[in-house]
Amino acid sequence: MRGPKAGATTGPTTDGPTTASGTVTARAGTQRVVQLGGGRARGPWLAVVVHPRPVLVCLVFLALAAVAALATLAVGELGISLAELPGVFAGHGTRAQEWALFTSRLPRLGVAVLAGAAFAVAGAIFQSVTRNPLGSPDVIGLGAGAAAGAAAAALVWPGFVSTPVGALLGAFLAITVVYLGTGRGFAAPHRMVVVGIAVGAMSLAFVQLALVRASRESAQEVALWLTGSLAARATGHVVVIGVALAVLLPAALALTRTMQLAEMGDDLATGVGVPVRASRTLAVVVAVLLTGAAVSVCGPIAFVALTAPQIARRLTRSSGPGMVAAACCGAVLLVVADLVAQYALPGIIFPVGVVTAGLGGIYLAFLLVREWKRVAV
């Protein structure tokens, strides 16, 4: 052993000033360690490993999100120029401008940012649990299950529960069927994907049945919701998804390290002391709740959960589910997709779910082709 200094070619060593707060004081592999507080005897209370690249990627995502957010707020039938925007915020705009900003665009933006983040984190968790980029909630039947639950609540047995609660129940029912269907719970990643696809297909069949049997008006309303839309969101929607994220994102962050280890195989994870089954079940519950919350405020918007974590993972070149990067990426994707849905074709406004489904479908095809090639080789 060459002592602790052997690895510190570019940074100070761990023997550095541990009393300082917020200092980067050690090097662990290619990563940096940020330490906070604590004396020399007890050590810092916080020592978190940080890779420089994901931090940079997150900053870029946030910058993009800021630009897209400004566009969402400023562009529209009732244009508010960037110069005017602060004034309208401060209450100096016209009544029409204030209505457009506070009642229409801000809630829409808030839901897009938060739901995008929620979908993406749920996707990151599921892709980690299934050890498969295809294992997102969209593909393994969670979105379809939520849709079926919503259809059941709104059309088949109206009046029992509200549509969003129906969606959450549907998502839990779908994941329960997946859990039972694999025969080995969540410990069989490949079976989860296969069973999930079957559960998704059955859920969609149920949705079709419900739509066919329903009256035209209510069917149309539900059909729009099932596509996923950010139109006419209210502040209440922002609060729902905001509270859900505030609780569930820290939970997802706390589970990140155990999930990283579980990705390396159940035996190895058990060997280093991870309670694999318990933490995996907990992670799935967090992901289902995130998906349920997001679906309840904007419908099952397709493929954000599939694409955002993978884009984040490629860009950060990270070797595990990066929750923060995935969340930032999901927020950017949904805000940008919403802009495209509103303004790409003049005079035609799509539901945002159509745009994400179109773009995500292309990505899904790419993934499938790659998987086939890998199997064929």
Partner 1 sequence: MSVAEMAGAGDVAVVVAPLAVEGLVMAYDGAPVIDGLDLAVPAGSFTVVVGPNGCGKSTLLRAFARTMRPRAGRVLLDGEPITGLRGKEVARRIALLPQSPIAPEAITVGDLVARGRYPHQGLLRQWSAQDARAVEAALAATETVELRDRLVSSLSGGQRQRVWLAMALAQDTELLLLDEPTTFLDIAHQYEMLGLCSRLHTQGRTLVAVLHDLNQAARFATHLVVMAEGAVVAQGPPSDIITAELVEAVFGLPARIIPDPVTGTPLVVPAVA
Instruction: Provide the binding-site residues for partner 1, judged by CB under 8 A.
Output: 1-4, 6-7, 13-15, 26-31, 33, 43-49, 131, 254, 257, 260-261, 263-268, 270-275, 317-320
Q: How far apart are CA 22 and CA 8, in angstroms?
A: 19
Distances (CA, A) of 31 to 5, 13, 49, 62, 376: 15, 13, 6, 22, 36
Q: In terms of C-beta density within 10 A (0-12 exposed, 13-18 middle, 19 or more buried), how is residue 273 classed?
A: exposed
Between residues 8 and 285, which has the closer beta carbon with respect to partner 1? 8
Residue in the block written with tokens 């200094």: 5
Between residues 18 and 356, which has the closer beta carbon with respect to partner 1? 18
Instruction: Name the minimum Å distance from CB 363 to partner 1.
Output: 18
User: What does DSSP assign to residue 9?
Assistant: S
Structure tokens at 352: 């945002």
Between residues 72 and 130, which has the closer beta carbon with respect to partner 1? 130
Q: In terms of C-beta density within 10 A (0-12 exposed, 13-18 middle, 19 or more buried), how is residue 301 classed?
A: buried
Q: How far apart are CA 270 and CA 279, in angstroms?
A: 11
Between residues 254 and 354, which has the closer beta carbon with respect to partner 1? 254
Residue 28, Ramachandran bin (φ over 0: left; ψ between -120 and 50: alpha; else beta):
beta
User: What does DSSP assign to residue 293?
Assistant: H
Between residues 53 and 75, which has the closer beta carbon with respect to partner 1? 53
Tally the C-alpha atoms within 13 A of residue 263's C-alpha that lie toward its C-beta: 20
Instruction: Name the minimum Å distance from CB 136 to partner 1.
Output: 17
Between residues 269 and 334, which has the closer beta carbon with respect to partner 1? 269
Between residues 273 and 347, which has the closer beta carbon with respect to partner 1? 273
Instruction: Name the minimum Å distance from CB 290 to partner 1.
Output: 20
Between residues 134 and 154, which has the closer beta carbon with respect to partner 1? 134
Between residues 87 and 183, which has the closer beta carbon with respect to partner 1? 183
Between residues 29 and 159, which has the closer beta carbon with respect to partner 1? 29
Instruction: Name the minimum Å distance from CB 98 to partner 1.
Output: 44
Sign for the pseudo-dihedral over CA of 27, 33, 37, 38: negative
The overall longest dimension of the chain from CA atoms, in Å, is: 76
Which residues touch 65 (CB under 8 Å, ≥6 apart)?
Answer: 113, 328, 331, 332, 335
Query: Which stretches of the chain are assigned E, i.e. beta strand?
Result: 23-28, 31-36, 46-50
Instruction: Name the minimum Å distance from CB 263 to partner 1.
Output: 6
Instruction: Name the minimum Å distance from CB 264 to partner 1.
Output: 5
Pairing of strands 31-36, 46-50: antiparallel
Q: How far apart are CA 64 and CA 113, in angstroms?
A: 12
Instruction: Name the minimum Å distance from CB 35 to partner 1.
Output: 8
Instruction: Name the minimum Å distance from CB 7 to partner 1.
Output: 6
Q: How far apart are CA 194 and CA 181, in angstroms?
A: 10
Q: How far apart are CA 167 and CA 170, in angstroms?
A: 5
Instruction: Name the minimum Å distance from CB 189 to partner 1.
Output: 10
Instruction: Name the minimum Å distance from CB 309 to partner 1.
Output: 13
